[in-house]
C-alpha cells in the first residue's frame, strides 16, 4: 500500500510539472510558428492543460479501467467548476467581457448535455466515442476560426501578456515540448498503476479513485493558471482556462478513451456524478453568461461552488468509509 501511495504522489507531482513544461514549450513553439496569441491561448494552451486528463484516461482505457477513465474526465469537470472557479471567485470576483467566452458558455452547456445523453444507455460505444471526437473537431475548428478573426477580443491582450511572460528561446521550447510529453506519459503510467493498486487494496471502485484523487490531481494545472490569472485581473483568461478544459475533457478525453476501448458506464456515474456535472455546468452558464451585461461570478457564488464541491466530495468519501 505504501508503494502505491508513493506512486500516486510521485505520479501527480511529476504529471503537474511535466504538463507545465509541455504547455510552455508548445506555446512558445507555436508563437515562433507565427500563430496569433489568441489562437495559441484557446487551442494550444487549452490542449496542454488538458493533457494530463487525456493521457491518464487513455492509459486507463487500455488497461481495462473504465471507471478511472470516465471518473478522471468528469471528476475533473466537477473540480474545475466547483473547486477551481469557486476558489478563484473567492480570491477576486470574476467578470467576463470576452465575446468568445460568452459564446463558449452555451456551447459547453449543450456539449455537456449531449455527451451525458450518449451515456444513459449504460454504454460508451466506439461509435459514441467517434461522435464525441467529431464534435470536438468542429468545436476546435470554431476555436481556430475565432482566434484568427477576433484579434480585438477582450481576451486577446490577456493571452498576449501571459505568453510574453513565459516566452522561451526556440531551442529550449522544443526541448521542453519533447521532455514534457515524455514525462507526461511516464508519470501518467505511474499514477494509473498506483491508483488502481490502491483501489484494489482498499476494495474501492476505480470510479471513486478517478473522481477524487486522480481528478483533483490532474486539475492542478488549471487551478494554478486560473488563480494566477485572476490575481492579475485577467478574468476572461481565468474563466477561459476552465471552459476550454471542460470542453476538452468532455469531448476529447472521453472520446479518445472510448475509441480505444468501448466501456460500460457504472450506474452511480449516471445517477450521481453526471447530474452533479450537468447542474454545475448549467449554474456556470447562468452566472457567467450575463443576460443583462457582462457575466460575473461574485464571492458569494464562489462560496456556494466551493461548498458544493465539499459536499459532493464528502458524500463520495462516505461511500468508501
pLDDT digits (tens, 9 = 90+) for 244-274: 889 999 999 999 999 999 999 999 999 999 9
Q: What is the spatial distance between Cα 252 and Cα 260, in angstroms, rounded to a whole number? A: 12
Q: What is the spatial distance between Cα 287 and Cα 281, in angstroms, rounded to a whole number? A: 10
Running DSSP on this structure, what letter comes out for residue 36? -
- The average confidence (pLDDT) of the chain is 82
Confidence category of residue 40, pLDDT binned at 50, 70, 90: low
Confidence category of residue 45, pLDDT binned at 50, 70, 90: low
Q: What is the spatial distance between Cα 179 and Cα 207, in angstroms, rounded to a whole number? A: 30
Here the CATH number for the domain that contains residue 243 is 1.20.1420.30
Say how many CA atoms lie within 13 Å of 264 toward its Cβ: 3
Confidence category of residue 165, pLDDT binned at 50, 70, 90: low
Structural domain span for residue 239? 2-318
Q: What is the spatial distance between Cα 136 and Cα 121, in angstroms, rounded to a whole number? A: 21
Nearest-5° angle of CA 77, CA 90, CA 165?
75
The predicted model gives 271-284 an average pLDDT of: 94
DSSP 72-117: HHHHHHHIIIIIIIHHHHHHS-EEE--HHHHHHHHHHHHHHHHHHH
Confidence category of residue 133, pLDDT binned at 50, 70, 90: very high
Q: What is the pLDDT of residue 92?
A: 86
Please answer whether residues 180 and 21 qualify as being in contact, where contact means their C-beta atoms are separated by less than 8 angstroms: yes
Q: Say what angle helices 2-32 and 155-165 make with each other, to 10 degrees.
A: 110
Least confident of 5-9, 41-45, 56-60, 88-92: 41-45
Q: What is the pLDDT of residue 99?
A: 72
pLDDT, tens digit, for every residue of 189-219? 788 788 878 777 777 888 888 888 888 887 8
Q: How many CB atoms lie within 10 A of CB 268?
A: 16
Please answer whether residues 78 and 215 qualify as being in contact, where contact means their C-beta atoms are separated by less than 8 angstroms: yes
Nearest-5° angle of CA 160, CA 165, CA 168?
105
Please answer whether residues 195 and 206 qualify as being in contact, where contact means their C-beta atoms are separated by less than 8 angstroms: yes
Identify which has the larger pLDDT, 44 or 131: 131
CA 243 to chain centre: 8
Report how many domains make up the chain: 1
CA trace torsion 71, 136, 105, 262 (10° rounding): -30
Confidence category of residue 313, pLDDT binned at 50, 70, 90: very high
Running DSSP on this structure, what letter comes out for residue 253? I
What b/e readout covers 24-41, taking b as 16+ CB neighbours within 10 angstroms? bbbbbbbbeeebbbbbbb
Q: What is the pLDDT of residue 163?
A: 62
Q: What is the pLDDT of residue 138?
A: 92
Q: What is the spatial distance between Cα 162 and Cα 174, in angstroms, rounded to a whole number? A: 19
Q: What is the spatial distance between Cα 65 and Cα 196, in angstroms, rounded to a whole number? A: 8
Cell of 137: 473537431
Cell of 213: 484523487
Q: What is the pLDDT of residue 143?
A: 75
Q: What is the pLDDT of residue 162?
A: 60
Least confident of 8-12, 45-49, 273-277, 299-303: 45-49
E strand residue ranges, the chain: 94-96, 123-124, 263-264, 295-297
Amino acid at each position: 500500500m505504501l508503494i502505491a501511495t508513493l506512486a500516486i504522489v510521485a505520479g501527480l507531482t511529476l504529471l503537474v510539472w511535466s504538463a507545465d513544461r509541455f504547455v510552455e514549450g508548445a506555446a512558445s513553439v507555436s508563437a515562433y510558428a507565427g500563430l496569433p496569441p489568441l489562437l495559441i491561448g484557446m487551442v494550444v494552451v487549452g490542449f496542454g492543460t488538458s493533457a494530463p486528463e487525456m493521457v491518464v484516461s487513455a492509459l486507463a482505457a487500455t488497461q481495462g479501467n473504465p471507471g478511472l477513465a470516465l471518473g478522471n474526465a468528469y471528476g475533473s469537470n466537477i473540480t474545475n467548476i466547483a473547486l477551481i472557479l469557486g476558489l478563484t471567485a473567492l480570491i477576486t470576483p470574476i467578470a467576463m467581457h470576452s465575446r468568445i467566452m460568452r459564446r463558449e458558455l452555451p456551447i459547453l452547456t449543450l456539449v455537456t448535455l449531449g455527451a451525458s445523453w450518449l451515456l444513459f444507455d449504460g454504454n460508451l460505444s466506439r461509435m459514441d466515442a467517434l461522435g464525441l471526437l467529431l464534435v470536438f473537431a468542429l468545436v476546435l475548428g470554431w476555436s481556430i476560426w475565432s482566434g484568427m478573426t477576433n484579434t480585438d477580443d477582450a481576451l486577446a491582450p490577456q493571452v498576449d501578456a501571459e505568453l510574453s511572460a513565459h516566452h522561451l528561446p526556440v531551442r529550449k521550447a522544443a526541448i521542453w515540448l519533447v521532455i514534457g510529453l515524455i514525462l507526461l506519459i511516464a508519470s501518467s503510467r505511474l499514477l494509473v498503476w498506483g491508483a488502481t493498486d490502491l483501489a484494489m487494496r482498499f476494495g474501492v471502485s476505480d470510479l471513486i479513485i478517478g473522481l477524487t484523487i486522480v481528478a483533483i490531481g490532474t486539475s492542478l494545472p488549471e487551478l494554478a493558471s486560473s488563480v494566477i490569472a485572476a490575481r492579475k485581473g485577467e478574468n476572461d483568461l481565468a474563466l477561459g482556462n476552465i471552459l476550454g478544459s471542460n470542453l476538452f475533457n468532455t469531448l476529447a478525453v472521453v472520446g479518445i478513451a472510448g475509441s480505444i476501448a468501448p466501456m460500460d458506464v457504472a450506474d452511480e456515474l449516471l445517477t450521481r456524478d453526471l447530474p452533479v456535472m450537468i447542474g454545475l455546468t448549467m449554474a456556470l452558464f447562468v452566472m457567467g453568461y450575463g443576460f443583462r451585461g457582462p457575466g460575473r461570478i461574485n464571492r458569494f457564488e464562489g462560496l456556494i461552488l466551493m461548498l458544493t464541491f465539499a459536499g459532493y466530495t464528502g458524500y463520495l468519501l462516505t461511500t468508501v468509509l
